[in-house]
């Protein structure tokens, strides 16, 4: 008999067949020892830990842009119904709910995550609507969670919309008592707008925030053209838009990051110069780089450098920031200190200039991937397509089930006496349900309610009796007595017809990829209209030794079109096929009723476009910055590309290829009759924030700008019908910031409404129109003064001569244009009426006449403007030499 205390002898049959030969087997019953290299064991264990950290903690999902902790907080707040219309709730309760149901990692991990989603200097599109002390950019820490309160922000509500409509997959929570979503439906493009920062094991993610309006435009552009290029996307989404503003220096890092998923951008603070009453210069910091603290990062560093005598021109630094006034850090300079030098020193030695590393790593189907801009947009659109299809399928199922239930009710109500008799004859509810399911139902064509019932329910033959399902029978069993009245059939039929329409619509959506994309596009446009705002971060060209976008843009000739409403686009010249003389041409843009092409020119992609505004400022953009758009579209509103102030409008667009031409000048005219002539080269250095083109006096505004060659005449027209024509050289050359000299002596209440350049030997005619719809064409030679030695212009600054009679019939002059008989014109009234006429149909008369009726204007309306239609709106763009700016 074997000894029970003796260990069992392990035979070969008991050993692990996969164990290596000659291994030492253990003495434990049923077990064995396996020798493994320690490198292998560490690698396997570390890889398991690393993947757990990557997937479950540090990296965001590309679909909703959230890490698990962020997603669980939002879901917990949604469970608590903390929507924007509800009262704020204690953060301690939110943290407790999150920890209890979804995230068992302690409040030390949950509360800081909650706070970060509600700090406006960290998050471009807030997800948490905070109340209480959530810290500051100084940086001050937030108050304890027992003191602060929060609720979901509207952006977060968009993230959670349709969560209960089977739009995403769910999984059990940590203790399998609740289910949590694997991802949110995310109508709001959170990852693209807010970015993400996280350090995993062996990798890190650093994704920048962007402007919501630009991201929405980029998504729409991708939906409309899946083959959109990165270059085209860069025209729509020029770069990151940090919540703290600042200035991004150069575009090379942006282009590299958007193309490869990795790049570096240099971000500077916004600093401007001021002068105190005592004459001392100060530097004022109003915006700082992203993720840089104001006090610990900037103020303390400047104080330290000043103490170490590295910033010797700084006398003092004062933080004047406030919740109302925003950020304002004032740096006082010593007497004689050069503000520009000190500013550059601050950029070099302090975090006022910092580098933001872009590392676009996110989870794609559970795996970390490095993504470019187009990939990020594409994956978000794919997610929204899945969500919309699943939502529609869910609604279809619900509608089909409801329609199925109502079908049974219609049969029952039409045969209600038999149904009541059958139910009363049953002893139990289950027996009644079973009898209903066994009985055949039909509605004869002579039934009193037949005219209101769809034909598919009507039948005369018993062979076509309908057998109710259990769902329908139970629905009949739940009918209340009051619902058995005759009118209930009309309500049932109405609801049934409505459900059929919904079912048909849902099936159409599921069967049409185009409709699904249209819904994604509409949702995106709705987001832009509801939450879109202006860009905060400025992007400068070619700063700090970086390459700019021009280095990535090939030099080519393009056709630039600008509409009357201020929409601009460019298109390669090759898109316009050459035609013979007399051809019909191609459509340059499908203009809307209230818009038309007003200016067309051919330029190089590396040329500049000067934009002069009514406030006397000038902006400069590169032609390659103008978005390339199909020939039949209007393009993009140029006001979205410039940093315009409220009520600031563009008066003149001017393409420039060379600022150094000595024979080119710019002549400005203002409403109060002043003119200024300045060399074109004075405007070669215009920064993105705009530059003063002409200093305007109080109450004055810029009404026009024209280039001159040094041998041209200038004609000014006033609203009271006066005009003056003088030689441009009568206005001496002045500096860029000069306010100009008197161009015409205006009577009280009069103002200049038109500036016309009259070239030497001009054969065109001057068209003048008044607010009541009258006007005339007049030879420009009539505006010369007859002298003994021949016609000559007047002298600058005179009262001028009568151009058109201004009286009760005509009203005031509103506009002047240099035209020929072949030109087409658009006449625009205050009430929005637009009339197109040919200039040749307007009678040609002498100066100092009343003119003729040009357009019928209603008694309560007035003509406000005329504009010449650009030729390439109907003619071939290869004939645009006549419209190409001679400033080139």
Q: Provide the mean pLDDT of the chain.
A: 84
For residues 473-512, b (16+ Cβ closer than 10 Å) or e, as one string?
Answer: bbbbbebeeeeeeeebbeebbeebeebeebbeebeebeee
Q: Do 797 and 859 sit in the same domain of this protein?
A: yes
Strand (E) or helix (H) holding 198: strand 196-199
Is residue 495 in a domain? Answer: yes
Write out the two tokens for 197: 């920062």
In this structure, are 756 and 866 located in the same domain? yes
Query: Is 682 in the same domain as 782?
Result: yes
Give the pLDDT band (50/70/90) at residue 554: low
Residues 679 and 803 placed together within one structural domain of the fold: yes
End-to-end CA distance of the chain: 113
Residue 792 has pLDDT above 70, yes or no: yes
* Paired tokens of 282: 């100060």
Whether 480 and 566 share a structural domain: no
Of 343-352, 602-611, 635-644, give the range with the top mean pLDDT: 343-352
718 and 770 part of one domain? yes
Query: Among 351, 386, 411, where does a domain finish?
Result: 351
CATH number at residue 154: 3.90.199.10
Residue 398 lies in a domain: yes
Same domain, 755 and 845: yes
122 and 183 share one domain: yes
- Residue pair 771/739 in contact (Cβ under 8 Å)? The answer is no
- Residues 310 and 304: beta-carbon distance below 8 Å: no
Q: Given phi > 0 = left and psi -120 to 50 = alpha, else beta, which region is 237?
A: beta
In terms of pTM, does the model score above 0.75?
no
Neighbouring C-beta atoms of residue 694, cutoff 10 Å: 26
Average pLDDT over residues 602-623: 87
Lookup: tokens for 655: 């393409």
Q: Which residues pair with 538 in a beta bridge?
A: 247
Cα separation, 353 vs 268, in Å, equals 4
Give the integer Cα–Cα distance in Å for 306 and 308. Answer: 5
- Exactly one of 32, 46, 147, 683 is catalytic; name it: 147
Asked if the peptide bond before residue 690 counts as cis, ω within 30 degrees of 0, the response is no
345 and 398 inside one domain: no
Backbone angles phi, psi at 521, to 5 degrees: -65, -45
- The verdict on residue 163 lying in a domain is yes
For residues 427 and 489, state if they share a domain.
yes
CA distances from 687 to 174, 538, 624, 684 (A): 56, 11, 16, 9
CATH of residue 279? 3.30.1360.40
> Would you say residue 158 lies in a domain?
yes
Domain assignment of residue 382, yes or no: no
- Is it the case that residue 479 has pLDDT exceeding 60? yes
* Strands 361-364, 353-359: pairing kind: unpaired
Higher pLDDT, 1 or 619: 619
* Residue ending a domain, choose from 131, 161, 188: 188
Range of the domain at 461: 394-510
Backbone dihedral region for residue 515 (phi beyond 0: left; psi -120 to 50: alpha; all else: beta): alpha
Buried b (16+ CB within 10 A) or exposed e, 631-660: beebbbebbbbbebeeebebbbbbbbeebe
**Residue 358 confidence (pLDDT) above 60:** yes
Same domain? For 703 and 645 the reply is yes
DSSP strand pairing (674-679 vs 608-613): unpaired
Rounded to 10°, the helix 68-79/107-116 angle is: 80
* Domain assignment present for 72: yes
Confidence class for position 544, pLDDT limits 50, 70, 90: low
State yes or no: pLDDT of 589 exceeds 50: no
Q: Is residue 32 part of a domain?
A: no
DSSP code string of 206-269: EE----HHHHHHHHHHHHH-TT--HHHHHHHS-S---TT--EEE-SHHHHHHHHHSEEEEEEE-
- Token readout for 634 is 């209007």
With a cut of 80, say whether residue 486 has pLDDT above it.
no
Distance between CA 138 and CA 571 in Å, rounded?
Answer: 48
| 645-679 per-position pLDDT tens digit | 888 888 888 888 878 765 688 999 999 999 999 98
Using alpha carbons, list the distances in angstroms from residue 89 to 48, 82, 94, 270: 39, 7, 7, 37
Query: What value, to the nearest 5°, has the Cα angle with vertex 211 and ends 208 and 212?
Result: 115
For residue 290, indicate whether it is catalytic. no
Please say if the pLDDT value at position 886 is more than 50: no
As a whole number of angstroms, the distance between CA 503 and CA 514 comes to: 18
Total number of domains in the chain: 4
Q: 368 lies in a domain? A: no
DSSP 390-454: HHHHHHHHHHHHHHHHHHHHHHHHHTHHHHHHHHHT-SSHHHHHHHHHHSEE-B-TT-TTGGGS-
pLDDT tens for each residue of 123-155:
999 999 999 999 999 889 999 999 999 999 999
Q: Is the pLDDT of residue 87 over 50?
A: yes
Residue 542 CA from chain centroid, whole number: 24
Beta strand spans in 526-605 (E): 538-540, 557-563, 567-572, 597-604
3-class secondary structure, 35? coil
Distance CA 18, CA 39 (A): 20
Q: What is the CATH number of the domain that holds 742?
A: 2.120.10.90
Query: Which residues sit opposite 768 in a β-bridge?
Result: 776, 816
Write down which residue in 319, 351, 383 finishes a domain: 351
Task: Please check whether residue 470 is in contact with residue 437, taking contact to mean a CB–CB distance below 8 angstroms.
Answer: yes
Least confident of 240-254, 428-442, 739-753: 428-442
CATH number of the domain enclosing 464 = 1.10.268.10
- The pLDDT tens digits of the residues spanning 194-213 come to 999 988 777 889 999 999 99
Per the structure block, which two tokens stand in for 271?
Answer: 């600093």
- The DSSP secondary-structure symbol of 884 reads S
Q: Which of 250, 327, 331, 881 is closest to 557 using CA atoms? A: 881
User: Around Cβ 3, how many Cβ atoms within 10 Å?
Assistant: 6
**639 and 560 share one domain:** yes
Pull the structure tokens for residue 858. Answer: 């209603």
Classify strands 538-540 and 247-249 as parallel, antiparallel or unpaired.
Answer: parallel
862 half-sphere exposure, CB direction, 13 A CA radius: 11
> Which has the minimum average pLDDT: 247-261, 404-418, 629-643, 795-809?
629-643
- The burial class, CB within 10 Å (0-12 / 13-18 / 19+), for 20 is exposed
- Supply the pLDDT for residue 604: 84
How far is 684 from 704, CA to CA, in rounded Å? 19
Question: Pick from 814, 824, 826, 798: which is nearest to 851 by CA?
Answer: 814
pLDDT band at 880 (very low <50, low <70, confident <90, very high): very low
What is the arrangement of strands in the sheet containing 691-692, beginning at the earlier edge strand? 650-656, 608-613, 617-622, 691-692
């Amino acid at each position: 008999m074997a000894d029970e205390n003796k260990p069992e002898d392990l035979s070969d049959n008991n050993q692990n067949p996969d164990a290596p030969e000659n291994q030492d087997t253990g003495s434990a019953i049923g077990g064995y020892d396996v020798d493994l290299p320690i490198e292998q064991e560490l690698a396997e264990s570390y890889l398991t830990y690393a993947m757990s950290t990557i997937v479950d903690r540090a990296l965001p999902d590309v679909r909703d842009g959230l890490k698990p902790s962020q997603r669980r907080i939002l879901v917990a707040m949604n469970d608590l119904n903390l929507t924007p219309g509800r009262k704020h709730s204690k953060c301690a309760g939110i943290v407790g709910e999150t920890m209890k149901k979804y995230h068992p990692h302690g409040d030390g991990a949950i509360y800081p995550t909650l706070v970060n989603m509600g700090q406006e200097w960290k998050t471009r599109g807030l997800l948490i609507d905070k109340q209480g002390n959530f810290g500051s950019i100084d940086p001050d820490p937030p108050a304890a969670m027992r003191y602060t309160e929060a609720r979901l922000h509207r952006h977060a509500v968009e993230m959670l919309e349709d969560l209960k409509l089977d739009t995403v997959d769910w999984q059990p929570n940590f203790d399998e008592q609740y289910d949590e979503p694997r991802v949110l439906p995310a109508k709001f493009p959170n990852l693209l707008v807010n970015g993400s920062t996280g350090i995993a094991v062996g990798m890190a993610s650093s994704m920048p925030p962007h402007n919501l309006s630009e991201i929405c435009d980029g998504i729409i552009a991708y939906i409309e053209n899946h083959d959109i290029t990165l270059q085209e996307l860069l025209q729509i989404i020029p770069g990151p838009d940090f919540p703290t503003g600042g200035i991004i220096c150069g575009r090379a890092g942006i282009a590299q990051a958007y193309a490869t998923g990795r790049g570096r951008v240099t971000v500077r603070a916004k600093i401007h110069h001021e002068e105190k009453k005592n004459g001392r210069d100060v530097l004022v910091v109003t915006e700082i780089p992203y993720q840089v603290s104001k006090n610990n990062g900037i103020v303390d560093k400047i104080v330290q450098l000043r103490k170490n005598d590295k910033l010797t021109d700084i006398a003092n630094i004062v933080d004047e920031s406030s919740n109302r006034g925003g950020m304002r850090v004032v740096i006082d300079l010593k007497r004689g200190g050069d503000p520009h030098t000190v500013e550059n020193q601050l950029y070099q030695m302090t975090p006022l200039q910092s580098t933001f590393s872009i590392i676009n790593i996110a989870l794609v189907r559970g795996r970390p991937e490095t993504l470019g801009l187009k990939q990020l947009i594409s994956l978000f659109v794919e997610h929204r397509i899945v969500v919309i299809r699943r939502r529609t399928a869910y609604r279809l199922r619900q509608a089909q089930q409801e329609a199925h239930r109502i079908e049974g009710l219609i049969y029952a109500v039409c045969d209600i006496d038999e149904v009541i008799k059958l139910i009363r004859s049953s002893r139990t509810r289950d027996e009644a349900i079973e009898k209903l399911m066994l009985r055949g139902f039909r509605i004869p064509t002579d039934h009193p309610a037949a005219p209101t019932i769809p034909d598919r329910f009507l039948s005369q033959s018993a062979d076509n009796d309908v057998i109710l399902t259990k769902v329908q029978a139970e629905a009949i069993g739940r009918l209340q007595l009051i619902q058995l009245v005759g009118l209930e059939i009309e309500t049932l039929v109405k609801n049934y017809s409505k459900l059929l329409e919904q079912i048909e619509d849902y099936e159409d959506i599921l069967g049409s990829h185009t409709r699904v994309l249209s819904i994604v596009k509409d949702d995106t446009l709705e987001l832009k209209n509801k939450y879109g705002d202006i860009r905060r971060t400025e992007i400068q060209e070619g700063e700090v030794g970086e390459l700019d976008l021009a280095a990535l843009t090939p030099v080519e000739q393009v056709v630039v079109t600008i509409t009357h409403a201020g929409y601009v686009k460019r298109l390669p010249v090759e898109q316009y096929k050459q035609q013979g003389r007399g051809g019909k041409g191609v459509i340059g843009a499908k203009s809307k009723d209230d818009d038309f092409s007003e200016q067309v020119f051919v330029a190089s992609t590396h040329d500049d476009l000067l934009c002069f505004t009514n406030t006397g400022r000038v902006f400069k953009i590169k032609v390659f910055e103008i978005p390339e758009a199909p020939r039949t579209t209007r393009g993009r509103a140029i006001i979205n590309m410039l940093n315009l102030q409220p009520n600031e409008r563009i008066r003149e667009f001017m393409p420039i290829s060379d600022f150094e031409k000595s024979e080119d000048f710019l002549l400005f005219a203002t409403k109060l009759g002043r003119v200024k002539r300045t060399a074109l080269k004075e405007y070669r250095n215009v920064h993105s924030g705009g530059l003063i083109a002409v200093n305007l006096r109080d109450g004055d505004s810029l009404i026009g700008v024209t280039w001159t060659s040094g041998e041209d005449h200038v004609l000014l027209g006033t609203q009271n019908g006066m005009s003056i024509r003088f030689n441009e050289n009568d206005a001496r050359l002045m500096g860029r910031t000069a306010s100009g000299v008197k161009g015409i002596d205006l009577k009280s209440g009069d103002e200049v409404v038109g500036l016309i350049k009259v070239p030497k030997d001009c054969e065109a005619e001057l068209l003048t129109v008044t607010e009541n719809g009258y006007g005339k064409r007049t030879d420009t030679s009539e505006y010369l003064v007859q002298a003994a030695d021949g016609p000559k212009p007047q002298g600058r600054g005179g009262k001028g001569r009568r151009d058109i009679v201004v009286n009760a019939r005509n009203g005031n002059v509103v506009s002047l244009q240099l035209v020929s008989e072949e030109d087409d014109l658009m006449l625009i009234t205050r009430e929005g009426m637009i009339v197109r006429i040919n200039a040749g149909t307007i009678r040609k008369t002498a100066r100092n006449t009343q003119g003729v009726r040009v357009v019928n204007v209603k008694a309560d309306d007035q003509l406000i403007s005329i504009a010449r239609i650009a030729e390439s709106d109907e003619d071939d763009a290869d004939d645009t030499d006549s419209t190409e700016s001679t400033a080139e």
